[in-house]
Structure 1
Amino acid sequence: MLKKVNPTVITLGIAGILAVAVGFYVNSVSWGPIAEEKTTQAASTDNGAKPANSNNNQTTAAAMQPTWAASATGRVEPKSGEVRVTAEVGGRIVDIPVNLNDQVKNGDLLVRLDDDDAITKVVGANAEAQVRVRERNEEDARGLQLERRNAEDAVAAAERSVFGAQQEFDDALDQKRNHNGAQDAVDKGRTKLEDARKKLADERANLASVNAKSGMPLPTRLEAALTVARAELTGAELGVEHTRIRAPFDGTVLNVIAKEGEVAAPSPENTLVIYGDLSTMKVRAEVEERDAAKIRVGQRVIVRADAYPEQDFEGKVTSIAQSLSPPNIQSRGPRRPNDVEVLEAVVDLEGAPPLLTGMRVDVFFKLDATASTK
């Protein structure tokens, strides 16, 4: 007699069979492509072909190659450097005829000190010289002595002409600044001053030639007294010129520190005006010690600034320091024992980049192979 089968047992059996079947199907689907790929790779290798991902490996290796020989932080400054103009003599500041960003030429006034005492000395010295001239002229002179006397008088007259032309030029500049004069007057004054200086140089050369002649007699007592008086007059005129602080070359006023009414002291620390030529710029870069052997004079560089993120500025290394020094750009606060030393390199920028003096930039030194293509 047959026993009745329990329905629960039948259900569990069917579920087990289905689980085995599903597992087999999934396993065959998962391993099939992998096995096929392995078979394909093996066949390709046997035929001498490279695996499909070999190009990716080459690309990754190429990407790991360095793009630059070295990189450094730098600051932009005028190619001439930032010149800190100071006074040669002490005195009260009475006039500052320039403003920030003014473009001035060589010899233009930047600061004027009180010159009352200096002018008084010029007047007194000039009067003394005139007396000595009259005394000397009472003596007769002939031959070489007369030739020397005429040459000395010509030099003295040329020196007075230079002093007078300088005063006229300064007056023309002052009138133009106060809108009472024209640029034409300034240009004429500058030309007159240059001509007077050339004339003085010629007369001094002529006097030297005359004094070198054989048989020239010694100066008389009155001639010697006149020479001393004229030297004192020249010194007094130089004292007036020392109260005029002038532009050392054509350039731009970067900062005006002096204030009218203050007393200027003849000290390198007492800067009156910061000045520079912005027509050409350079970058002073600080290269870490570990990269010192990777840079050289003549090496091409790329300069980048945060203010111009989409522009690259090109330049060339023109000088490299001969010794390491503490960093000036990155240092903040007191120096620590583990701070690295840096090697200063100067890079001349090409063209007229819009970079501002004092701007912090990143400097990338090109590899030699890259630099040689430029």
Structure 2
Amino acid sequence: MKIGILKETFDGERRVAITPNIAKQLIAAGFEILVEEGAGEHSSFKDSDYREVDAVVEKRGVVFHEGQVLLKINPFDEEDLKLVDKRQILISKLYHKSNPQLIQTIANKGATAFSMDAIPRISRAQDMDVLSSQNNLAGYKAVILGAFEMTKIFPLMMTSAGTIAPSRVLIYGIGVAGLQAIATAKRLGAVVEATDIRSETKEQAESLGAKFISVDNEGEQSEGGYAKEASAEYAKKQKEAVNKSLFQADLVITTANIPGRKAPVLITREQLMQMKNGAVIIDLAAAQGGNCEISENNKTIVENGVKVIGTSIDPRSVSTNASDLYAKNIYNYIMHLTKETTFEWDLEEEITDETLIVHDGEIRKN
């Protein structure tokens, strides 16, 4: 079976779906690997690195024509789908719940598509979970970006000219990104507080040194390991509980996303107007509408002296590490789906069932 690795075309994207090391492992497992020219150049992987492991480097059209399985990170776009035919299997993050037109176009092509963002949050799928591997890096980069944008340092520092108080960091959402943000900010010496709709995250946050801001969440539950959309009553309680910390914070990092839905607004314009002059908000949910009311994806907005930075793909700024982790996830996923390089199509198996969105032109998941 021939697996085609495509160059990412999403604006600003620097990652690649398969690295030379993982290409080597797939080849050892019996697959043939085709790589589009320049696919790994922004992640510091040269075409010659792929050739050295016996992958074949070809022009884009050849990879589309010969690849039986086509791999990407971001969703296949309109130009990609013009080159896809019904014999092919597509694997990428499709975000199928919020991209119905994309899924319909794939179905119209008669192709098959698996969505990496639909990997279920179960223990045996952990080594395939691209959202966790990439969000881990996003949490780290959010703190580093915040440190760069702030006009203060993180740690307590005692100098001959006086003592510098540590910065205060507030983190909304204690998932993978939030936990890594807590750990990174603590290592840099900040005073860290965190909040989440899921009460079960309290112990995790505190184990990393953060103060957990408790909110009465009776009736609020998580779904499939993700936070579900909060009720209006809970959102009001959260604002009241968090406001004191929010208004004192030097850096705020928001990470709350709900799969297939608009991101919840956690910081309103009214709250922003009461924040410290010079505070920075890093909104990792900006691509899905943002956790801050005024956020715009890939834009920096300054209002009332508060700098709001909307971003969602920070892993691209550490593309070598991000590509390596994504590639390992993909390798484990492909090995799970196949036996002796042939797809098993076991629709009774949970991972296969949850991630197979389109099968031979038939839409299975909406």
Q: Structure 1-normalised TM-score? A: 0.20
Q: Structure 2-normalised TM-score? A: 0.21
Larger relative contact order (C-alpha < 8 A, sep ≥ 6)? 1
Greater share of residues in helix: 1
